[in-house]
Structures are given as structure tokens and as C-alpha cells.
Amino acid sequence: MSALPPTNDDSAIWDIWLAQFRLPVVNVNAEVGTFKALSEAALTTDQLAAQLGVNARALAMNLAALCSMGLVEKRLGLWRATHLARTWLHPDGEGYWGYFTKQIDFNTTLRGRLLASLRTGKRAGDVGEGSGDIASRPAEWERGSMSQEAAEGIAKFMHAHSQAPALGAAAQSVFGELASLMDVGCGSGVYGIEIARAHAGLKVVLMDLKEMATEAQKFIERAGIGKQVSTAGVNMFTEAWPHGHDGHFFSNVFHDWSDATCRLLAKSSFDALPSGGRIFLNEILMDDDYTGPFPAAAFSLLMLVGTLGKQYSLAEFRDILGSAGFVDVEAVRTGGGYYSLVSGRKP
């Protein structure tokens, strides 16, 4: 018996690791008073944030996770605690579970980070927690360079969680309509490599910071696909973007950055594409009303504690891409786990 080759769907593995957010997000919201407040009144996110003294952006991400677990619901823009939360999570209720759920929550690190982020709107690494482990590593690329050792670690980390969704993305026939695709913020390059494998006529350039591009080159060699795929070490914020590609592909890149930075990225892409060029964002999408689903909401909490971003909805991406000039923005589920491929076109 030996290892089996990857398939396009590893969502069961995602469910296992994302499950770690369930109990801490409940405990953190019990602590700041979310369930009590929403049992007593229907409130907007901003009203609730003001009442609890927490950060509204972080609260929106928390509420989405709680909603996807059936603890709060949103109607006409107002949040309310559900029957479940009013019965078991209201601190004045006879059935209050909070005394138990906090003590049984051994994931104190994550709970501390979620609480810090909810209160301040800043991620854990910026408020004195979380340096040194994987959740604080993204800060390294925010400096625009990283050690080769860090790049190697991040490439392996990203490669593991991107293998299945890369196969899902690669199966999309739209890539066969392109001549040359640039995989921006490529990490290990797993997406560009799988897309190239699935579309023999397509040239692919894997673009990332130079240390990461060096790592991606190793994956190209391992895949034996050097005739079709090459690398470019480019800082997407400070250096000129290569021209000559009719498609730009970003996977898990926009979710690392704020709305304002995503708009800058979309504009840089727009300017570097020819007329008719396509932009692709491979992401786990939030529902348009930001109420779940749980995998997206939990992944978004990871972004909250570890990056400057969040998981976006198609509605938000349409606005971001539209602001740069892209049209025909749409999304399809790729079959690559929980991922969707958002696309837009430069007129």
C-alpha cells in the first residue's frame, strides 16, 4: 500500500482544522456580551459594536461565524440571538452553558487572539501576541522580503492547503481560452503548475517576491514542467508588473489585504492587462449578506488574527474589481473544495 495522488476535494480536511474556531468564537462572544445584547434587542453590526465596545469590522466577521452555527441571525440588516443562544448562552438564563464552555476550551491561544482582535480590530501579532508561529508568518511578506528559510516554510504550508483547490481551478475550461497566464502571489506555484498541466497550450508565469519565486522554481522542476512554466520575482506593490499576459490569476491573495489594498491590486492588474484580458480570483467566498457559510467564516477568522484581510463575498469583489474598471464579474464553484473562481474582464 502506498500514498494516493491528490484529488480536487479535500473539504473533509478543511472541516477538521476549521473546527478549531467553533468553541473559541462562542466563548469570546459570550465574554464581550454578544448573546445577551442580541437577546434583548435587534441591532445592526455598528450598533452592536458601539454597545459592546468592540471593533465593528472584526465583529462582522465574528457574527458571520456565529450565524453559520445557528446562534445569531440577520434579518433586514438587524442581528438577533436565535432561540438556541437565548436559551443556552444568555448569562442570566437558567440554562447558561458559559460556565462550562469557557473552562472546557483548552485552545487559550486562539481564544486570546480572537478576543484581542475583536476588541481592537487589530490582529494578534500587532497587539503583542502571536509572533513566531505560522499565524504570524504572513507579516514577513508584508515587509516585501523574507528569508529563504521563511519562504521555504510558507511555500510548503501554502502548497498543502492549495493542492486540491488547484486541481479544481485547473479543471476550468476558461484557462484554455488564454495564451499566457500570470499567477500573482503564487506561493509554491501549485495553481499555475496545475493550470499549465491541464492546458497544454498555455504559458504560465509564477510571480511572487523573489525569495518565494525561488521556491516556486523548485516546484516547477519537481513537476518537470519548465518548458511551459517560468517564474518572475516581482514585488506587486513596489515594482512594475510584467506585461504580455492575457490573464492574471490570484489565489488566496486578496484575502490577505484590506479593501483599500485589494482595490490597488485590482488597478495594477487592470493596467497591466490588454483589452479583453481576464482577472481571476480563487477564493473561499462569503455569502453576499455576510452570514456564512461556516468554512468561509472560520477561514475569515484566521485572516482576522493573522493578516490584514478577510474572506470577501462576490458582492464585495464585484465592487472592488468594478472600481478598477473590470466588467462581467461573476463566480463559479470550481469543485476544488470550498473554493470559487471569481472572474472579470477588461473591456
Ligand X SMILES: C[S@@+](CC[C@H](N)C(=O)[O-])C[C@H]1O[C@@H](n2cnc3c(N)ncnc32)[C@H](O)[C@@H]1O
The separation between the first and the last C-alpha atoms of the chain, rounded to the nearest angstrom, is 53
By the 10 Å C-beta count (0-12 exposed, 13-18 middle, 19+ buried), 16 is classed as exposed
158 binds ligand X per the rule CB under 6 A: yes
**What minimum distance in Å lies between the beta carbon of 275 and ligand X?**
25
CA atoms within 13 A on the CB side of 234: 19
164 binds ligand X per the rule CB under 6 A: no
Instruction: Report which of 205, 242, 252, 246 is spatially closest to residue 346, judged by C-alpha positions.
Output: 246
What pairs with residue 181 in β-bridges?
Answer: 204, 247
Give the 3-state secondary structure of residue 180: strand
Give the 3-state secondary structure of residue 330: strand
Cα Rg of the chain, angstroms: 21
Binding track, positions 46-85, relative to ligand X; x by CB under 6 A: ----------------------------------------
**CA 55 vs CA 43, 121, 310: distances in Å:** 15, 5, 14
**What minimum distance in Å lies between the beta carbon of 316 and ligand X?**
18
Q: Which stretch binds ligand X (CB under 6 A): 39-47, 193-201, 233-241, 295-303?
A: 233-241
**What minimum distance in Å lies between the beta carbon of 114 and ligand X?**
20
Q: Which stretch binds ligand X (CB under 6 A): 16-24, 232-240, 284-292, 319-327?
A: 232-240
Concatenate the DSSP letters of all residues of 270-297 into one string.
HHHSPTT-EEEEEE-PBPTTS---HHHH
**What minimum distance in Å lies between the beta carbon of 25 and ligand X?**
22
**What minimum distance in Å lies between the beta carbon of 170 and ligand X?**
13
Q: Which stretch binds ligand X (CB under 6 A): 25-33, 62-70, 96-104, 208-216?
A: 208-216
Nearer to ligand X, 83 or 222 (CB): 222
Report the C-alpha gap between 64 and 319 in whole angstroms. 20
185 binds ligand X per the rule CB under 6 A: yes
| Cell representation of residue 263 | 482595490
Give the 3-state secondary structure of residue 196: helix
Asked if 7 contacts 164 with a C-beta cutoff of 8 angstroms, the reply is: yes
**What minimum distance in Å lies between the beta carbon of 209 and ligand X?**
5
251 binds ligand X per the rule CB under 6 A: yes
337 binds ligand X per the rule CB under 6 A: no
> Of all residues in this chain, which one has the CB nearest to ligand X in the complex?
187
By the 10 Å C-beta count (0-12 exposed, 13-18 middle, 19+ buried), 158 is classed as buried
252 binds ligand X per the rule CB under 6 A: yes
Nearer to ligand X, 18 or 85 (CB): 18
Residue 240: count of CB within 10 angstroms of its CB? 10
Q: Which of residues 117-156 bind ligand X (CB under 6 A)?
A: 141, 144
- The correct pick among 64, 116, 193, 209 for binding ligand X (CB under 6 A) is 209
Nearer to ligand X, 178 or 234 (CB): 234
Binding site for ligand X (CB under 6 A): 141, 144, 158, 162, 185-187, 190-191, 208-209, 212, 235-237, 251-253, 256
